[in-house]
Amino acid sequence: MSTKLTRRDFLKASGVALGGLTLGGVVAGTGTGATPATQQCSNNGCNYPVDPASTQRYSYPDTLRSFTPDMQPDLAADEMRITFLGTASPPSRRAQRTMSIFIEVGPWMPDPGHGFGKAKDSFVFDCGAGCLANYYAMGITASRMDKIFLSHLHADHMSELMMIYGFGPTSDRKWPLYIWGPSPSGLENPGGRPRYYDDGLHAFCSHFREAMRWHTEAFSFQETTYLDYHVPTQKEWNTPVALKPVGDDDARDSYAIVPIELDWRKIGLDRRGSPDYTNIAYENNGVRITHFPVVHNRRGSMGYKLEWNGLSMIYASDTAPETVSIQQACNGGKGVDVFIHEMTSPPEVWAMKNMGLPFPDYSVPGFSQVVDGAAKSVKGFGHTTQGAFGYLLSQMDPQPQLAVPTHFPVADDTVECAMKSVRKHFPKGSYPEFGKDIIWPADLMVLKVRKGKPPRIEQFMGEVSDYTFAPPQNNYTPLAAPKYGLTAQQDPTNLIQPGADTYCDNGY
């Protein structure tokens, strides 16, 4: 592996090591022998370089059945549907937007206004940059995105709020946007003044509402309030705080923001590790969503558990390996059906990929420093490497029906590397079998979870057009009159009007 070769020459010459799509070598989950007495932590643990073709695509989704937007009304009465609309860690990739997961529970409900219809209840978990394009491509409209659960306030988990909020009312969300998230961190400011920042969700939503003022006024030439909307109460949704909009918006208006601030310190487990439900964030339509603290960059990061109709899902989001997620996944001995948890590449692989190298080359100037920097970021920010994810799974009893590591840059080589690391913690037996017990999701992947013993989990891959327009909407009437007339906010001084010698009023 001469470092005198150019990167292009090296890629042309290399076709070695893992080769092509090597996921088939680990699907059976045959293991690697007896558990070592001490951890083996060697460099280049995945034997790079690999066949360059394996670094440029992710083949697993090609094996799945297609899910097209017109299939959405097939949501069954006993079905929990999980759709991955963003799966990357920052920065976004062309193949992956940053984190967002959409969950619906059945049955599908027809729209009284003769629109497209929607699930009985639905929830957005995080909404990172670019994910809204995936929502719309999958035919998911704004009225189905009215409940957003933020794991923490990093930009790659909430930056699409501006688009979801700002353009929801011009679509079919004609009522408030409800946002769940953490209470203030409680960390003392080392700079002195103020002693503590108000960095919780309520303050975030208050400032966000005012920051969006120009936009919301500009679009208030449209109807934004559904007059027959039933405003939910704290008791009806079993939330820990009253459902009150920030600012002075009408409680029915679609530009109202309702923050539900959660005490991130609450674990919701008794001394035996069983749920005690002191940490409920939402409870309605047979759905119970609880929250729990995780260990990430700043205090206030949370995971969520959703339970419905005997089915369960955990979204732990970004976190270092920690014990609460394990306890929540054990779920008092019942386990969970789907365990979604972040995973990050080893610092060495992260550095190699970001420097455009085909293998971890410590002779390249700066490579060691990039590895060290990545290692510090993983440890300091609080992330779970692929080997650590394997360890977490090994500590769960019972183990999840399906483990889903995400927040991960998928490709055939990175997933193969990750699977090897996970398998090192299961050297005997077949668990976890790739594709059955564990999958790495790509954007637009869909899981249909149905009740049974064990529950049946079907995997699909979204098939959409890159050029689709807005999704099919629902219709809500009566609507309140707009705040402004159509052109009342404009200065028409320099306006060119349509006419015989200018342009056609009909746009052609």
Over residues 258-285, the pLDDT tens digits come to 999 999 999 999 999 999 999 999 999 9
pLDDT of residue 387: 95
Using CA atoms, how far apart are residues 296 and 126, in angstroms rounded to an integer? 15
Structural domain contains residue 82: yes
Using left for φ > 0, alpha for ψ between -120 and 50, and beta otherwise, residue 356 falls in left
pLDDT at position 301: 98
| Residue 372 banded pLDDT, cuts 50, 70, 90 | very high
Whether 150 shows a pLDDT value over 90: the answer reads yes
**To the nearest whole percent, how much of the chain has pLDDT over 70?**
92
21: pLDDT confidence band, cut at 50, 70 and 90? very low
What CATH number does residue 190 fall under?
Answer: 3.60.15.10
Q: What is the mean pLDDT of residues 324-329?
A: 98
Q: Is 505 part of a structural domain of the chain? A: no
> How would you list the strands of the sheet with 402-406, edge to edge?
280-284, 287-293, 302-308, 311-315, 338-342, 402-406
Question: What pLDDT is attached to residue 293?
Answer: 98
| pLDDT recorded at residue 495 | 97
What is the mean pLDDT of the segment spanning 474-485?
Answer: 96
- pLDDT score for 494: 97
Residue 275 lies in a domain: yes
Question: Residues of 373-396 as b/e, b for ≥16 C-beta within 10 angstroms?
Answer: ebbeebeebbbbbbbbbbbbbbeb
pLDDT digits (tens, 9 = 90+) for 204-231: 999 999 999 999 999 999 999 999 999 9
Name the pLDDT band for 42 (thresholds 50, 70, 90).
confident
pLDDT for 111 equals 95
Average pLDDT over residues 231-242: 98
Confidence bin at 427 (pLDDT 50/70/90): confident
Length of the chain equals 508
Could you give the CA distance from residue 346 to residue 418 in angstroms, rounded to a whole number? Answer: 9
Angle at 365 between CA 360 and CA 370, to 5 degrees: 60
Sign of dihedral through CA atoms 278, 283, 286, 292?
negative
What one-character DSSP code corresponds to residue 70? Answer: G
Q: Which domain holds residue 117?
A: 57-344+383-462
Least confident of 37-51, 88-102, 413-427: 37-51
Q: How many domains does the chain have?
A: 1
Query: Whose CA is closest to 166, among 201, 208, 135, 203?
Result: 208
| pLDDT computed for residue 20 by the predictor | 33
Between 11 and 165, whose confidence is greater?
Answer: 165
Is residue 166 in some structural domain?
Answer: yes
> What's the pLDDT score for residue 32?
37
Rounded CA gap, 225 and 223, in Å? 6
How many CB atoms are located within 10 Å of the residue 480 CB? Answer: 14
Residue 24 domain-assigned (yes or no): no
Return the amino acid letter for 151: S
Give me the phi and psi of 452, to 5 degrees please: 170, 180
Is residue 22 included in any domain, yes or no?
no
Which carries the bigger pLDDT value, residue 377 or residue 145?
145
The whole-angstrom separation of Cα 397 and Cα 385 is 21
- Decide if pLDDT at 2 tops 90: no
Residue 35: pLDDT above 80? no
In the structure, what pLDDT confidence band is assigned to residue 36 with cuts at 50, 70 and 90? low
Mean pLDDT of the chain: 92
Q: What pLDDT sits at residue 17?
A: 33
pLDDT at residue 365 greater than cutoff 90: yes
pLDDT score for 92: 85
pLDDT of 249 higher than 80 = yes
pLDDT at 37: 57
Query: Mean pLDDT throughout 478-501?
Result: 96
User: What letter does residue 253 receive in the DSSP assignment?
Assistant: B
**What does the pLDDT look like over 377-397, one tens digit per residue?**
898 899 999 999 999 999 999
Q: Kindly state whether residue 218 falls inside one of the protein's structural domains.
A: yes
Residue 27 has pLDDT above 50, yes or no: no
Whether 481 is covered by a domain: the verdict is no
